[in-house]
Homo-oligomer: A and B are copies of this chain.
Amino acid sequence: MLSPSVDNLVAQLTRLPGIGTRTAQRLAFHLLSASKPDALALATAIEDVKERVRFCRECGNLTEEELCTICLDPRRDQSIVCVVEQPTDVISLERTHEFRGLYHILGGSLSPIDGVDPSDLRIDELVQRVARGSVTEVVLATNPNMTGEATAAYLADRLRGVVTVTRLASGLPVGSDLEYADEVTLGRALVGRRPL
């Protein structure tokens, strides 16, 4: 509409998740009016990421080296491994400052409907990692939804007898009201009640 390269930028921005035509246009005009170094910094950041980032050989997390910073950190507890679906879940868990062990990133959850079966996830790598013997507990931290629960159940079966397997607690979110809790969550909170 205005110029081929602006149209192309809008088209490329529209391919990002959650970015519609209007937002893409606003972002494109921001980049147009931004200083050249500022705009090019974003282009370079994208190129750098595609050039440098790869998966940690041990846990499957994102890294720029052979092993990620968490696997390389000698202060982390090597005997406990937390299994998550995505690298973003690692960020969420690290933000709690409650976990000092290592991670294992599956790369998704089991979902036969979407054609995701155990061979598509880093499950064999997890089993081999546990078999090497230094891990004593595996915390299953897949999402508390249908596919995440199915994945946790599958992993519990695979690892039973080899290592202690635990699952993140389900229950009421802190700061919430009983009145607004859905019945499944409230039921889980009741079943999982703890002595005080």
Q: A94 vs B2: C-alpha distance in the bound complex, in angstroms?
A: 10
A62 close to chain B: CB less than 8 A: yes
- The answer to whether A90 touches B2, judged by C-beta atoms less than 8 angstroms apart, is yes
Query: Quick one: given A27-B17, A62-B32, are A2 and B91 in contact (CB under 8 Å)?
Result: yes
Are A5 and B42 neighbours in the complex by a CB distance under 8 Å? no
> Which residues of chain B are near A42, meaning CB under 8 Å?
12-13, 15-16, 43, 46
Instruction: Decide: B17 and A38 in contact? CB cutoff 8 A.
Output: no
How many copies of the chain does the oligomer comprise?
A: 2
Indicate whether A99 reaches chain B with its CB closer than 8 angstroms: no
Q: Mark A1-41, 1 if CB is under 8 A from B, else 0.
A: 11111101101110111110001011111111000101111
Interface status of A64 (Cβ within 8 A of chain B): yes
Chain B residues near A169 (CB-CB < 8 A): none
CB of A86, distance to nearest CB on chain B (Å) = 8
Q: Given the complex, which residues of B lie within 8 Å of A49, measured CB to CB?
A: 5-6, 8-9, 28, 31-32, 39
Interface residues of A (CB under 8 A from B): 1-6, 8-9, 11-13, 15-19, 23, 25-32, 36, 38-53, 61-64, 68-69, 86-88, 90-91, 94
